[in-house]
A = this chain, B = another copy of it.
Amino acid sequence: MRITTAGESHGKGLYAIIEGMPAGLTVDPAAIGAALARRAGGYGRGARMRIEQDEVELLSGVRDLVTLGSPIAVAVKNRDYENWREFMAPEGCDTSSRRLTCVRPGHADLAGMKKFGQTDARNVLERASARETAVRVAAGEICRGLLEELGIYVLGFVRAVGPVCDRREYVFSELAARSDVLGMLDPALEAQAMAEIDACKGAGDTLGGVLELHVWGLKAGFGSCMTYDKKLDARLCGALMSVQAIKGVEVGLGFSAAALRGSLVHDEIFPDGTGGVYRKTNRAGGIEGGISNGEEIVLRAAMKPIPTLMRGLQTVDAATGLSASAAPERSDVCAILACETVLEAALCGELCAVVLEQLGGDTLAAVKERYGRSA
């Protein structure tokens, strides 16, 4: 299974093709729409988000809401394309307007201009923008549908917004209680986080945070210890790291494990009295030796603060070589809820790929039957 995406931020829309999804899976546009709405929301977002109201359009691979086994193409239109057509139309447009040359630190602008031989960072940022994640969410939600048919569930929450951090441990069954405001689980901390966002907004500054994702229901044996690039942790963390603004990823105890002795890190195994085993801890985050071990998968990711600041960062105008202030293209203070939504989708996408590689199968029925027989 592979998800291929395309589309610019102010172009016609965002597009994705999912190859390798089995036939017989029901697609739920309402669920995709809800995820898109969640991605566009959250405390700390600016004005643009309100006009977006993204919707997914199913273009192919699905008939009467059921997959055919053929490539699934989906689109998320850009609702303000009409305002940008004159400057962005593939068929012909005025590229001398809407130029951006005061390259923004923290974005792909400067490096992308060098890479692609551009004198206008617009030609880079349109694709590098996190707008791309709208269609990754749409595709990821379709993959979530497959996982849920197997009894595999993915949920995440926001552990920290800037310096406001929730240090409690949670298990999967608690995560559904996350807020829709900032995605946190502790209301008191979320109130603190909102105040921090307000303060940041006043200062023209931005915030990131820490996100945590859990997978419940994945049986033991997915991923592989036999080939380095098939390791489950490598694949899932690579997928999370491919999301805009992510600067770190970890599994289970993650970086904390580095400071502890082995006897406090590894999860001892006990007989459950009925021929099976259980563990009292899950510090490994559900992955040992690059393979799922049947416990909850627990991943964490660090989101950097949004690099476009209302107060402006010091930079250079690539057109003149002179000092300049990086103009804000948009005005979010914190997009952590969006990021959480995107990470869930990215995780669903990669996990679905891993599961389908091991199970094979051309129909949902075959995939389910095979998963049912897995150890």
Contact = CB atoms under 8 A, between A and B. Distances in A.
27 contacts: A2-B4, A4-B71, A12-B60, A23-B116, A63-B123, A68-B127, A106-B266, A108-B288, A111-B288, A117-B365, A162-B258, A200-B261, A210-B255, A228-B346, A235-B238, A238-B241, A242-B290, A244-B289, A247-B255, A247-B257, A248-B258, A258-B302, A261-B305, A269-B314, A271-B323, A358-B360, A366-B373
A239 B250 contact: no
A306 B291 CA distance: 17
A110 interface: yes
Contacts of A293: 110-111
A192 interface: no
A19 B259 contact: no
Contacts of A60: 6-8, 11-15, 90
Contact of A90 (B65, B89, B257, B358): B65
A166 to B, nearest CB: 13
A90 B115 contact: no
A173 interface: no
A59 interface: yes
A108 B251 contact: no
A34 to B, nearest CB: 16
B258 A210 contact: yes
Interface in A106-138: 106-112, 114-118, 123-124, 126-128, 132, 136
A251 B255 contact: no
B58 A90 contact: yes
Interface stretch (A39-47, A149-157, A175-183, A218-226): A218-226
B127 A70 contact: yes
Nearest to A292: B111
B277 A316 contact: yes
Contacts of A265: 106, 208, 304-305, 307
A148 interface: no
Nearest to A370: B370
A17 B72 CA distance: 12
A80 interface: no
Contact of A231 (B23, B29, B124, B242): B242
A51 interface: no
- Chain copies in the assembly? 4
A77 to B, nearest CB: 10
B114 A220 contact: yes
Interface in A241-282: 241-244, 246-263, 265-271, 275, 277, 279
Interface string A73-104: 10100000000000011111111000000010
A116 B61 CA distance: 13
B261 A206 contact: yes
Contact of A221 (B111, B126, B311, B356): B111
Contacts of A246: 233
Contacts of A27: 90
A340 interface: no
A250 B75 CA distance: 32
Given A60-B90, A359-B360, A263 B71 contact: no
Interface in A313-329: 313-316, 321-323
Contact of A228 (B206, B207, B242): B242
